[in-house]
Amino acid sequence: MTSTVFDSELFRDMFGTAEMRAVFSDEGYLTRCLEVEAALARAQAAIGMIPGAAAREISARANFAILDLERLRRETEVVGYPILPLVKQLAAACSAEAGGYVHWGATTQDIMDTATVLQLRAALELIEKDLDDILASLASLAKRYRDAPMAGRTHLQQALPITFGYKVAVWRAPLERSRERLAQLRARVLVGQFGGAAGTLASLGDKGLAVRAALMRELGLAEPAITWHVARDALAEAVLFTGLLTGSLGKIASDVMMMMATELGEVFEPFVHGRGASSTMPQKRNPISSELILACAKLVRQHCALMLDAMVQDFERATGPWHVEWIALPESYLATAGACRQAKLMLAGLTVDTGRMQRNLDLTSGLIVAEAVMMGLAPKLGRQAAHDVVYDACRAAADRGKPLLDLLSADKQIGPHFDRAELERLLDPRNYLGSAGEMVDRSLRG
């Protein structure tokens, strides 16, 4: 039986991916814990703390196949953590001599935190690949529609002309920054944990720091300057990163959903027979990918708050906030993988209707470029006077249902300065795109 969308046979590939589930599965986690225990034994053997033969045997036996999962589950519920039961099973799988050196000088949180960091390393690699694919799709769309005019909207009202390529480039910019953040946060997040019971490595005498350094070399992780048992900012950052990423994807999804509305009809998610269909309305084509992206983004935002709350930990080992991370971190990365998957599907095959964009531009019969006329008149009449003249014409055009061009052409204050042909040029949305195209080019070069 399943209980959440992440493990549901029905929903799991809508809110996650098989690859990310594997990273955060029980098998994935326990394998990482065993990997840390094996690396610890090898590190201690390398500096002469435990026999080399013991380290080799521990490394050979430290694999998922040795575990009795049902027994591990029962004992974890009793202990509250999985490491003591796991260490018992690993030690029992080794000879008596080698088994006595398993988990030497470590504490539960050392193993669990470092296993989490190893999971994060794999998770970030998956997100990086997805993000690269999304950025490539957006770059392609921005180039293709660099000069395709459409209505820009502010406060849900038509404002000024833009191009669809410009809109896509705006979508892409925060994702490019997320790509930079991902590269930057690795140095802060991919740091192992090893401090012993209270973080001071007292159980290893004067060799504690040498063991820690050797352990991190074994695992390919950075060595911390000081134990971070209760300094959780790096793991919080790892989840806040997913909040920024999914928030940026959510902005795209929100725009696409509204642009798919019947009244706009400017873009559509890729057509797949039956996708987005209604059980009662045959004409429906619902924005399924966008809806799922938004749902994932909302979930991740809640977990960002949880991770910030979990940073407030008591003394040298926390009495509860740590457990919140076990929920928030895996679910954040699963939901982020799900959002990325849906974004890749949507953007790689997005249908763009430039004809409908042009018709929507024409809906207001020139009102969307009223600013162009105002700015053209400003040097002749002064800015405020030009604003008032054009404002009055816009109100009359809206009230009487007449084209703005006709009213402007008949205005006696405008006639001495612009003939009808010049007004037609000013009222052509293609002539009032500003630096949109150059901004697209710059953003893609950057």
Tell me the catalytic residues. 155, 278
Give the pair of three-digit tokens for residue 198.
Answer: 């209270």
Give the pair of three-digit tokens for residue 275.
Answer: 């996708």
Dihedral angle over CA of 58, 61, 62, 63, nearest 10: 170
User: How far is 51 from 44, CA to CA, in rounded Å?
Assistant: 8
Spell out a b/e string for 249-272, using b for 16 or more CB atoms within 10 Å of the CB, else e.
bbbbbebbbbbbeeebebbbbeee
Q: Please report the sign of the dihedral spanned by the C-alpha atoms of residue 373, residue 379, residue 384, residue 388.
A: negative
Spell out a b/e string for 392-407, using b for 16 or more CB atoms within 10 Å of the CB, else e.
ebbebbeeeeeebbbb
User: How far is 237 from 200, CA to CA, in rounded Å?
Assistant: 25
Closest CA to 440 of 181, 133, 184, 149: 149
| Amino acid identity for residue 208 in this structure | G
| Amino acid identity for residue 37 in this structure | E
The HSE-up count of residue 239 (CA atoms within 13 Å, CB side) is 27
Q: What is the helix (H) or strand (E) element at residue 18, kind and residue range?
A: helix 18-24
| DSSP per-residue string spanning 278-320 | -SS-TT----HHHHHHHHHHHHHHHHHHHHHHHT---TTS-SS
